């Protein structure tokens, strides 16, 4: 079965064509994967309206490229998957409009996909993890999840901002443009590594990063070495919080596998800390490959394939909804 996946939750617009033979565990092949990301001006974040304008201006090109690269015709695609939420409303709408249009014109089943679920499914598929504890860390999510009784359940999550937002908002105050995670990692690596105390907040299984942000924003920014040390301290503290939260979750659930997905999975320091945590508890750590850790169309295509092949569910184009607050723990997972 062939699927076209359309992703447009935040700054990335992506289209991908993927194939899955038979049902789940069948071979999964990525036939094409194209993306275009909206770059906000330096020092500012993603403006939903500007990002959606970017998506609207590139979507036809992305679609064409995805189809051409897969050397298929639009007619031979079996289903159309699109990310229906959670995400930024105006951005989601662009993807949904395109998906509804294609579904109507080519008479293909339309499959709405939860974006967070898509991150998990692709991470599990690529790493081969079967029943993992999932750490979803990105600009939109910071969650520790476990699968239980037909749903992904939240073991712990952030009570305020996500780890991605923490880095982005701090980075923006220094004049970088979002996403700032990689810049902060670079500055931290180049710094003198002088640690200064930043509030460490862990509330039970949950984490909170707003206090870290306030504290980091108040640090001196005059010298380059000051900035480097703040980046270093911020990263050390934030990841130590995540590592402890992960350790708590492993100790409580005894999971033997841990999968890290989402844009922040690309950070080397986080991977390093989590590998320590996992080896201490005898669990196996899987990190989603960097290329597929962030938002992309492949995850949407894969999830729509899995969903459709099991539940046979699709919706009529006129019912193609978007939902900015579509929480992962409200999605029924029929296939696991």
Partner 1 sequence: MLLRSILPLSNRLPVLIKKGSEADLFLIDWYDKQAISKLRTKRTYRHPVLDRELRYRRTIHEAEMVSKAKEAGIRSPYLYFLDTERNEIIMEYIEGVNLKTVLSADLALELGECIAKLHFKNIIHGDVTTSNFILERLSRQNNTRLAIIDFGLSFYSQRLEDMASDVRMLKEVLNSVHHELFDQAFSNFVKAYSSFSPYERGKKVLRKVNEIERRGRYSRIADSY
Tokens of 215: 């504290």
Tokens of 178: 């979002």
10 Å CB burial of residue 197 (0-12, 13-18, 19+) is exposed
Q: Work out how close the CB of 278 gets to partner 1 at its nearest, in angstroms, rounded to a whole number.
A: 11
Q: Work out how close the CB of 225 gets to partner 1 at its nearest, in angstroms, rounded to a whole number.
A: 17
Main-chain phi, psi angles of 36, to 5 degrees: -140, 130
Strand partners for 7 = 14
Q: Work out how close the CB of 151 gets to partner 1 at its nearest, in angstroms, rounded to a whole number.
A: 8
Q: Which of 126/328 has CB closer to partner 1?
A: 328
Main-chain phi, psi angles of 331, to 5 degrees: -90, 125
Helix 224-253 to helix 268-280 angle, to the nearest 10 degrees? 30
Q: Which of 13/232 has CB closer to partner 1?
A: 232
Cis peptide before 86 (omega within 30 of 0): yes
Q: Work out how close the CB of 195 gets to partner 1 at its nearest, in angstroms, rounded to a whole number.
A: 5
CB 53 within 8 A of CB 106: no
Q: Which of 23/327 has CB closer to partner 1?
A: 327
Q: Which of 78/256 has CB closer to partner 1?
A: 256
Q: Work out how close the CB of 328 gets to partner 1 at its nearest, in angstroms, rounded to a whole number.
A: 8
Tokens of 17: 């064509």
Q: Which of 243/306 has CB closer to partner 1?
A: 243
Q: Which of 56/161 has CB closer to partner 1?
A: 161
Distance CA 143, CA 149 (A): 18
Q: Which of 65/324 has CB closer to partner 1?
A: 324
CB 134 within 8 A of CB 114: no
Q: Work out how close the CB of 56 gets to partner 1 at its nearest, in angstroms, rounded to a whole number.
A: 24
Q: Work out how close the CB of 215 gets to partner 1 at its nearest, in angstroms, rounded to a whole number.
A: 13
Residues that bind partner 1 (CB under 8 A): 85-86, 140-141, 146, 148-149, 153-160, 162, 195, 197, 200, 202-206, 236-237, 240, 243-244, 247-248, 250-253, 272-273, 276-277, 280-281, 324-327
In the chain, alpha helices (H): 48-69, 89-106, 115-127, 163-173, 181-190, 210-217, 224-253, 268-280, 290-293, 297-311
């Amino acid at each position: 079965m062939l699927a076209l996946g359309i992703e447009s939750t935040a700054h990335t617009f992506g289209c991908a064509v993927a194939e899955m033979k038979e049902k789940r565990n069948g071979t999964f092949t990525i036939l094409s994967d194209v993306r275009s990301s909206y770059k906000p001006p330096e020092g500012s974040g993603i403006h939903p309206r500007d990002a959606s304008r970017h998506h609207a201006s590139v979507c036809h090109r992305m679609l064409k490229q995805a189809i051409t690269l897969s050397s298929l015709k639009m007619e031979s695609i079996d289903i159309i998957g699109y990310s229906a939420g959670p995400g930024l409303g105006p951005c989601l709408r662009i993807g949904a409009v395109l998906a509804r249009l294609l579904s109507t014109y080519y008479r293909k089943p339309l499959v709405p996909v939860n974006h967070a679920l898509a991150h998990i499914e692709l991470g599990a598929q690529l790493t081969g993890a079967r029943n993992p504890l999932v750490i979803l860390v990105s600009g939109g999510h910071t969650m520790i999840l476990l699968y239980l009784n037909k749903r992904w359940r939240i073991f712990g999550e952030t009570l305020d901002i996500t780890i991605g937002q923490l880095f982005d908002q701090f980075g923006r105050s220094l004049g970088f443009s979002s996403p700032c995670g990689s810049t902060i990692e670079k500055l931290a690596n180049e710094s003198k590594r002088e640690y200064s105390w930043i509030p460490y907040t862990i509330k039970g299984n949950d984490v909170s990063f707003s206090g870290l942000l306030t504290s980091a924003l108040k640090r001196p920014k005059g010298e380059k070495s000051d900035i480097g040390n703040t980046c270093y301290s911020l990263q050390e503290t934030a990841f130590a919080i995540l590592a402890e939260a992960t350790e708590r979750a492993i100790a409580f659930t005894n999971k033997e596998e841990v999968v890290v997905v989402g844009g922040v999975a690309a950070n080397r320091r986080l991977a390093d800390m989590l590998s320590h945590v996992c080896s201490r508890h005898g669990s196996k750590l899987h990190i989603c490959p960097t290329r597929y850790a962030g938002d992309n169309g492949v995850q949407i295509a894969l999830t729509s394939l899995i969903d459709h092949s099991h539940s046979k569910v699709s919706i009529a184009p006129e019912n193609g909804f978007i939902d900015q607050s579509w929480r992962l723990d409200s999605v029924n997972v029929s296939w696991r």
